[in-house]
Amino acid sequence: MWLEQGGNVGIAGTTDDPLVNMDCDGGVIQRSEIKPTLMVRTRSRVGVHAFYFCGSPKLPNIPTDDAGEVRSLWEYVVAAGSWVKTDPATVPEAERENAGHYTIEEDLPAA
């Protein structure tokens, strides 16, 4: 219902669970470099969010200059089904009809 009303949902790993989100921005990390897992295509239609479970100790949040982040300790990524206003001219032509939408890219269990 929240999404139907125009709201968005974020997914965060906490200090007490093994979830780690990888936010791959702008196509810097190639798809072939990402271990197969549940993935969401981002609003830019070039980036992806990849979801993993890790052991202990939990990975920390790891920012990068231009490739995205690893997010695990209360940092979030936006979930599939969400939508954020995005200028279609900034999205690859083949993906413009989905500009702004977060969609399932790989329907696999989180690795």
Percent of the chain with pLDDT over 70: 100
pLDDT, the chain, mean: 93
Percent of the chain with pLDDT over 90: 77
Give the predicted TM-score (pTM) of the model. 0.92
Cα–Cα distance, 53 to 18 (Å, whole number): 5
- pLDDT exceeds cutoff 90 at 25: no
The confidence score (pLDDT) of residue 87 equals 97
Annotated domain spans of the chain: 3-106
Model confidence at 59, in pLDDT bands (50, 70, 90)?
Answer: confident
In contact, 28 and 42? CB cutoff 8 Å: no
